[in-house]
Structure 1
Amino acid sequence: MKLRTLISPLIALLMVAGCKKEAAIVPDTITPEYSLPQGNHPYDTQIVDFYHTYGCYVLYKFTEKDFNWNISSKLSYVADQGDENYIAPALVALDKYLFKYYSTGFLKKALPYKIILSARIREIIDGNDTLATPINSVSTFSHFAFGHAGSSLAGMTEDELKVMKVDLHREFWMQAVSFGKIHLPPAFISATNYADVFPWTAKSNGVFYPTVDGVAADVYTDFRGYIDVIASKTVEELEQSLFKPANDPNGKYKLKYNMIISYYKSVYGVDLQGIAR
């Protein structure tokens, strides 16, 4: 009886201690990497609205790291800050030549963490800044950059604008598929054995770029070639050129083109053929 008398108060004490409320766990507050708006112009409201809709920052003030960092490497390009006097027409151009071809739902999936608006982008070759050759667009895992957020946009010819449009779509797609936001068509992935692709076998395999910067083709550089073609040529134009037997002896260009068009239309509701119209 004595032992039971001693144990009972001990159990009671343990039960009371176990029933005490633990302090509520408060999650750490994560400070956003960027702050919007970046200025007080009328277009800043548009940029803030874009962020709230798509979760994508549009930056015309940025650091070298914002532009250059690509996980394990740096871009071999330099970019000037966006010219605040020309941000509004740059936003109009992005909508006209890129965004309008995709639904809100698709853009939410495919857009990068940030879009950089630069007045001028140039490539660095052998340590030299190629001032005379501005770049329309480049991309990394976290952004694509537009290189005409400055006075150059107003002076571009129709042919230059067509090239710019193709470059924008290519860089938009490359950042989207290379980092898994948008899937590549499974049939396209399995359509080519890239170990068999050389400059002399590229045509028979339906590959546009057998090498890129000295590196052998893979499914991503292959897809890049198709986006260039899709964004620049209508299917009617391709039937009269690329898809002719002399240029497409095994029918692989047409086959892989149709794989891409069909997949993105059926799975994502994207009409890629509408880009070139």
Structure 2
Amino acid sequence: MQKMMGKYVVYLSMLGLLVCLACSEDKKIGEVETLTLDYELPQGKSPADDRIVEIYEKYGSYILYEYTDKDFYYDSDINFGRTYVYQLLDPQCVENMVDLLDEIWFDLYPEKFHQQTLPYHVFLASDLFYEDLFGEIVREPICTGAFSAVVSVSTEMLQELTSEMKLELKNSLQIKLWKFWQSYNYIELPDEFYEVSNYVGVANTDESSPNYARARGFVDGYNQTTLWYTSIDDWNAGTVSQKSDLYTFIECMLTRSSEEWEDDLAWPLVKKKYDILRNWIQKQYGFDIQVVGNLFCE
């Protein structure tokens, strides 16, 4: 009996050793695969290479102008529900692109905030588009994923950027970035914001009504042709959602100048929510979000 038990112990020990070896091999294989996501810097073909290396050393974020389909399509969130087609940016135009990103992104936020929020990859492209359900080509200057962002500006545009063009690119980029940061909890915003407005029922456009949208503390979204608050976000509950309200406020703060805020801020609840967000962001993250809104507006 003891002899039989001894055999079982040996067999079980050998089985355990084989399992450990298998797990060890699997781990090594997994580690090798993840290493393929790393890149050598400088990439070596652009006058902006030193600046790109400096960004990586500060924040651990790769600014890439040479990459493959495997790199680009690795982040499935970027291509969720659509397949983007991209065109690589000429390395000689990369410095112009980095100059632009300095203006509309990097120079707007403190170093600590970048360390918290910069994507792992920032792919630079000269074209970025997809085909919609109707077969139409849709071009986008910016798209974001779980750990990547793509910024696309044509060579021609980079050589003749006007303040109006920069304003449009800044607005598109900042809206995408903040939605990304909020969706993935990269940043925290105050619950106090939600305590100001009543979210039950649909606000209206009659300024004499106590149910008027601005009287309830709501504002119009960026570049919308219809008032977002005239529709119900949650048809089952019949309410305006807190999420839509916060997104809309942030969009407006990113895209409106101080002057463009004046009419809305004449309404007490709008001003209260504006002040809550602006002061919170200043205190928590060390920058004034209205500076982002003012850029190229004045």
By the TM > 0.5 criterion, same fold? yes
Aligned residue in 2 for 1:208 = 220
Q: Secondary structure at the match of 1:128?
A: coil
1:109-120 mapped onto 2 (5 Å cutoff): 109-120=116-127
AA aligned to 1:228 is E
Q: Which range is displaced more, 44-53 or 179-188?
A: 44-53
1:185-264 mapped onto 2 (5 Å cutoff): 185-192=190-197, 196-197=201-202, 203=214, 204-209=216-221, 210=228, 218-239=241-262, 241-244=263-266, 248=267, 251-264=268-281
Aligned residues of 2:59 and 2:118 also touching (Cα < 8 A): yes
Aligned residues: 245
Identical aligned pairs, as a percentage? Answer: 21
* 2:106 paired with 1:99: yes
Give the 3 Å change call, closer, same or farther, for CA 181–62 of structure 1 in structure 2.
Answer: farther
Q: Distance in 2 between matches of 1:62 and 1:207?
A: 42
Aligned residues of 1:59 and 1:116 also touching (Cα < 8 A): yes
1:227-246, Cα deviation, whole Å (9 max, x unpaired): 3322332323311x3334xx
Q: Secondary structure at the match of 2:245?
A: helix
Aligned residue in 2 for 1:66 = 72
* 2:43 paired with 1:39: yes
More strand by share: 1
Please tell me the root mean square deviation across aligned C-alpha atoms, in Å. Answer: 3.4
Deviation at 1:274, TM superposition (A): 1.6
Q: Distance in 1 between matches of 2:105 and 2:281?
A: 16
Q: TM-score, normalised by structure 2?
A: 0.68
* 2:81 paired with 1:81: no
Pick from 48, 56, 59 the counterpart of residue 54 of structure 1: 59
Higher gyration radius (CA): 1
Q: Distance in 1 between matches of 2:121 and 2:188?
A: 20
Pick from 132, 141, 146 the counterpart of residue 141 of structure 1: 146
AA aligned to 1:36 is E
1:83-111, Cα deviation, whole Å (9 max, x unpaired): 32311110110011211111111110111
Q: Distance in 1 between matches of 2:119 and 2:241?
A: 22
Deviation at 1:126, TM superposition (A): 1.7
Deviation at 1:148, TM superposition (A): 1.1
Aligned residue in 1 for 2:175 = 170
Q: Runs of 5+ in structure 2 lacking a partner?
A: 1-23, 206-211, 222-227, 235-239
Aligned residue in 2 for 1:270 = 287
Give the 3 Å change call, closer, same or farther, for CA 109–128 of structure 1 in structure 2.
Answer: same
Q: Distance in 1 between matches of 2:105 and 2:220?
A: 23
Q: Runs of 5+ in structure 1 lacking a partner?
A: 1-24
Give the 3 Å change call, closer, same or farther, for CA 151–181 of structure 1 in structure 2.
Answer: same
Q: TM-score, normalised by structure 1?
A: 0.73
